[in-house]
Amino acid sequence: MKKADVVILGGLSGISAGMSCKRHYPDKKVILVRKEGTVLIPCGIPYIYGTVGGPENNVIPDGLLETLGIELVRGEAVDVDREKKTIAMKNGDMIEYDKLVFATGSVPLVPPIPGVDKKNVYAVKKEFDYLSDVYRAMQDVKDLVIIGGGFIGMEFADECRKGRDVNVTVVEAMPHCLQAAMDDEFCELAQEKLQEAGVNILVNETVESILGDGEVTGVKLANGNEIKADMVILGTGAVPNTELAKRAGLELGFRNTIRVDRYMRSYTDPNVFACGDCAEKESFFDGKPSGVMLASIATSEARIAGANLFSPTHHNSGVISVFSTVINGMAFGVAGLTERCSEQVGAKIIITTAEAPDTHPGGMPNSCNTKVKLIFSKDTGVILGGSICGGKPVGEMINVVSACIMHKMTADDIVKFQMGTHPALTSSPIMYPIVNAACKAVLPLKGCE
């Protein structure tokens, strides 16, 4: 029987938890157990089918584990005995632990659409061999239908058209694609960018059935219309992978996630921790359960879990929700509350916007206009959220907004922000849009406008 101080069940967030554990407790023996032979970068999965050119170019090398002294055990854990502190493997092996971390992630949500089991209908699984099969099958596809206009659906639509003569249609049930994450004006702009690339977008539409005898030939919409398709991608979300945790007797909470405290310890067993998509989450803003699943949240929770295994070190502040994506060359980022979310919870807010080129002067090569929208609490002046669109700098600018939210900065704090600038890298310090948007909030917050 193998023995370890820490056993981690899972992939990407498991790697981060192991790294954090070894950083804080270098003498502890850590074993990472995972079913998959190769770990993919989850956020990079859509780019397998376009920009990066295959799943082999979207993997995390196992050499990182060896460098850190983490033992990798490939195989499937099928049972956990918390009283004996043992894990049973599918091949019959047993592993004994002192501390156990569930980092088992999530699995794609497969909607109950008639015909969803037909050939060439694919959910977005985080499995190397499975996605390799999808990649090979896509080489001959002429008509691709993507069900779901969230981040996965939109990114797949953008990437799958690259280098292929393929008709791509996105079917989204809500009034806008990306509506769960972004305000309407940003959703509309993202849709326009994708349509410019030749993608057909159908909103306020649902798929009634998937057509074909054995192999998909099309989809039938609820309005009766039919769309030709020789491949269907399901971009309809994910659910936590917590079956093993349930069998182990761990208490499950919101949407069947493992209930954990702010130190990432399970409510059921102080020797069992959880992080990532399989772990329960609470909103940074009101402490209510959150269903957001993001790699950035998973790795943050993994760092917290790993550090807290043998001594409380870090405290989880809750989910801010920081998103970013690129649609046909335009970047979009969102952190915290959107205007729509603020209205839904009845928050009293002040909204400001600012725009500027992301270089100075704007005539520099590859310059792109950046638009920033910030949301502040009308009562306290504290920033609650931000949305940005523009060029590549958006990816890091939205991280700056997230940091401001986490530290509960006010508009006055952000006005005094000292930024590093360079003509080829950033907006002008005079026109820096995050700061200028904050400047516009100061007088209204004082009741002067």
Question: For the segment 355-374, what is each residue's pLDDT rounded down to a tens digit?
Answer: 999 999 888 898 999 999 99
- Contact between 93 and 4 under an 8 Å Cβ cutoff? The reply is no
Q: Which of 52-66, 217-231, 282-296, 350-364 has the lowest mean pLDDT?
A: 52-66
Torsion of the alpha carbons at 128, 149, 193 and 367, rounded to the nearest 10 = -60
Q: CA 79 to CA 102: how far, in whole Å? A: 12
Q: CA 303 to CA 275: how far, in whole Å? A: 9
Q: What percentage of the chain exceeds 70 in pLDDT?
A: 100
Whether residue 299 is predicted with pLDDT greater than 70 in this model: the reply is yes
Average per-residue pLDDT in the chain?
95
Give the pLDDT of residue 30. Answer: 98
The amino acid that residue 402 corresponds to is S
Give the pLDDT of residue 339. Answer: 96
Q: CA 400 to CA 396: how far, in whole Å? A: 7
CA atoms within 13 A on the CB side of 74: 6
Give the pLDDT of residue 398. Answer: 97
- Contact between 357 and 368 under an 8 Å Cβ cutoff? The reply is yes
User: What domains are there in the chain, each with its CATH number?
Assistant: 2-35+75-107+239-308 (3.50.50.60), 110-236 (3.50.50.60), 329-445 (3.30.390.30)
pLDDT digits (tens, 9 = 90+) for 142-180: 999 999 999 999 999 999 999 899 999 999 999 999 999
More confident residue, 81 or 344: 81
- Contact between 125 and 235 under an 8 Å Cβ cutoff? The reply is no
3-state secondary structure of 412: helix
- Contact between 213 and 223 under an 8 Å Cβ cutoff? The reply is no
Cα separations in angstroms, 200 against 151, 157, 160, 167, 169: 16, 9, 13, 8, 5
- Contact between 157 and 151 under an 8 Å Cβ cutoff? The reply is no
CB atoms within 10 A of CB 68: 16
- CA 413, 295, 200 angle in degrees (round to 5)? 100
Q: Which of 81, 89, 96, 101 is nearest to 15 (CA)?
A: 101
How confident is the model over 211-219, as a mean pLDDT? Answer: 96
Q: Residue 12 — very low, low, confident or very high, per pLDDT cuts 50/70/90?
A: confident
pLDDT digits (tens, 9 = 90+) for 408-425: 999 999 999 999 999 999
> Quick one: CA dihedral 73, 79, 84, 85, positive or negative?
positive
Note if the bond before 361 is cis, omega within 30 degrees.
yes
Give the pLDDT of residue 449. Answer: 61
Q: Which of 61-75, 106-120, 265-279, 312-326 has the lowest mean pLDDT?
A: 61-75
Give the pLDDT of residue 170. Answer: 98
